[in-house]
A and B are shown apart, each in its own frame.
Chain A
Amino acid sequence: MSLARDIMTISAVSAGVFFFLAGTAGLLRFPDTLTRLHALTKADNLGLGLVVLGLLPQAGSLREGLKLVSIWLLVLLAGATVSQLIARTARQGETAK
């Protein structure tokens, strides 16, 4: 049982770290704001989500688990809103030029 939990943690956290890696690579390589924003949101949504998923089996109680999930939901909400606002700003900057 403990082994199964550990395997799940290791695989999910590894996948999460991979998405952070992909997001960072995108930030470094992509040419303009909108594509970089696209890369960043991958790290946000999937990276953190998978890390949270991986830590769930290690959480001591139901309350801890719920807290972990609510953190992810909060970050999702924030990420969606903020990237909308940034994209809108970038768009306005382009049309103004």
Chain B
Amino acid sequence: MNIATIFEVVLAAVVLGLGIWTIAVRETYSATVGFVAYGLLVALIWVRLDAVDVALTEAAIGGGLGGVLLLGAAARLRDAEPTVAEAPGMVTRVSAAALSALTAAALAGAIVFLPDPAPTLAPTVVAHASATSLANPVTNVLMAFRAMDTMLEKVVLLLAIIGVWSLAPDNAWGGHPGPRHQADPDGILVFLARLLPPVGIVVAIYIFWTGANHPGGAFQGGAILASMWVLAIMAGLTDTPSIGRRWLRFVLVAGPGLFLLVGLGGLWFGTAFLAYPPALAKPLILGIEVAMILTIAATLGLLLAGAPERSVK
């Protein structure tokens, strides 16, 4: 057992400990904090598994945006905690524990006794990389070989934001999502919110651009952009746009819309839905990704802000 394995076992143990904390602790706020820590450390596991693209996504979502989302809900639902007194009985608990242990054991068995020549699609993906002239295999799969999945994922994002907005009370419809934050002009938060976003935007564009050949891409870049936007909103420097704005709605549908248009164009000119002409593959993918990063940033930011709740005059 060499030192690298010991490190991996320690990492797995710490992550598991956080998982147990998240489930077992009594207070919801503490559980949320535990989950954020869990998300950040899972990103470390993904690096160790040599899946850096996923690590970037997990760092952005699990540690950053997802944690903030859960935390905001925990802070607002704090008063609701004592009213929930319907803990399940002993029978339910024991049978749930048995079911969970069985599931975990079955999965662990599956991991230990995997078939030995592992099935893999990596050589196929690498062999066809020349079709798009992008060197990052994950981007190739996301944007070309399984582009349908990515397009539908963008539609899911759109549906989620429609679902969130539809929960607005009648008198708030058309207003600004989320609470209005007051800016403290001499405050340190305002200072940070002025200093950090320019840096964040540069990093986001870098992560986006490097995604063609190295780990990175539109989603990871978009998540960073969204966090910078929400930071400025939280500091009170700007407000969320009212949901009736035309430019906002245009940005929200730009990504999936352009994707769909290109897909239909493939059906019209080429052979199949979403088939890119080989000469135009890279510019087309780049165009879709530029539209997508804007859509993703706007959607994630608005998902964090929540439903409109301030009544419109």
- A, B from the same assembly: yes
Binding site for B on A (CB under 8 A): 74, 77-78, 81, 84-85
Interface 1/0 per residue, B185-196 and A, CB below 8 Å: 000110110011
Please give the distance in Å from A22's CB to the nearest CB on chain B.
20
User: What range describes how many residues of B lie at the interface?
Assistant: under 10
CA distance A85 to B195 in the complex (A): 16
B196 and A77 within 8 A (CB): yes
Q: List 12 A-B contacts (CB under 8 A).
A: A74-B199, A77-B192, A77-B195, A77-B196, A78-B192, A81-B188, A81-B189, A81-B191, A81-B192, A84-B188, A85-B188, A85-B189
CA distance A12 to B199 in the complex (A): 28
Please give the distance in Å from B163's CB to the nearest CB on chain A.
33
Please give the distance in Å from B121's CB to the nearest CB on chain A.
30
Given contacts A77-B195, A81-B191, 10 further A-B contacts (CB under 8 A): A74-B199, A77-B192, A77-B196, A78-B192, A81-B188, A81-B189, A81-B192, A84-B188, A85-B188, A85-B189
Interface 1/0 per residue, B145-189 and A, CB below 8 Å: 000000000000000000000000000000000000000000011
**Which 9 interchain pairs have the tightest Cβ spacing?**
A81-B192, A84-B188, A81-B188, A85-B189, A85-B188, A77-B195, A74-B199, A77-B192, A81-B189
Residues of A within 8 A of B195 (CB): 77
CA distance A74 to B195 in the complex (A): 10
Please give the distance in Å from A44's CB to the nearest CB on chain B.
15
Provide the main secondary structure of the chain A interface.
Answer: helix
Residues of B within 8 A of A84 (CB): 188
Residues of B within 8 A of A78 (CB): 192
Please give the distance in Å from A12's CB to the nearest CB on chain B.
20
Which residue of B has the minimal Cβ distance to A73?
Answer: B199
Residues of B within 8 A of A77 (CB): 192, 195-196
Which residue of B has the minimal Cβ distance to A74?
Answer: B199
CA distance A24 to B188 in the complex (A): 27
Please give the distance in Å from A70's CB to the nearest CB on chain B.
8
CA distance A49 to B196 in the complex (A): 19
Please give the distance in Å from A87's CB to the nearest CB on chain B.
11
- The residue in A77, A81, A84, A85 that gathers the most chain B C-beta atoms within 10 A of its C-beta is A81
Residues of A within 8 A of B189 (CB): 81, 85
CA distance A84 to B199 in the complex (A): 21
Which residue of A has the minimal Cβ distance to B200?
Answer: A74
CA distance A78 to B188 in the complex (A): 11
Please give the distance in Å from B181's CB to the nearest CB on chain A.
14
Which residue of A has the minimal Cβ distance to B193?
Answer: A81
Please give the distance in Å from B236's CB to the nearest CB on chain A.
14
CA distance A84 to B195 in the complex (A): 16
Residues of B within 8 A of A74 (CB): 199
CA distance A85 to B235 in the complex (A): 12
- The A-contacting residues of B in range 179-220, CB under 8 angstroms, are 188-189, 191-192, 195-196, 199
Please give the distance in Å from B36's CB to the nearest CB on chain A.
14
Residues of A within 8 A of B188 (CB): 81, 84-85
Please give the distance in Å from B296's CB to the nearest CB on chain A.
22
CA distance A77 to B192 in the complex (A): 8
Please give the distance in Å from B313's CB to the nearest CB on chain A.
33
Residues of A within 8 A of B191 (CB): 81
Which residue of A has the minimal Cβ distance to B206?
Answer: A67
CA distance A75 to B28 in the complex (A): 28
CA distance A78 to B199 in the complex (A): 13
Interface 1/0 per residue, B273-307 and A, CB below 8 Å: 00000000000000000000000000000000000
Which residue of B has the minimal Cβ distance to A88?
Answer: B188
CA distance A74 to B192 in the complex (A): 11
CA distance A74 to B199 in the complex (A): 9
Interface 1/0 per residue, B52-90 and A, CB below 8 Å: 000000000000000000000000000000000000000
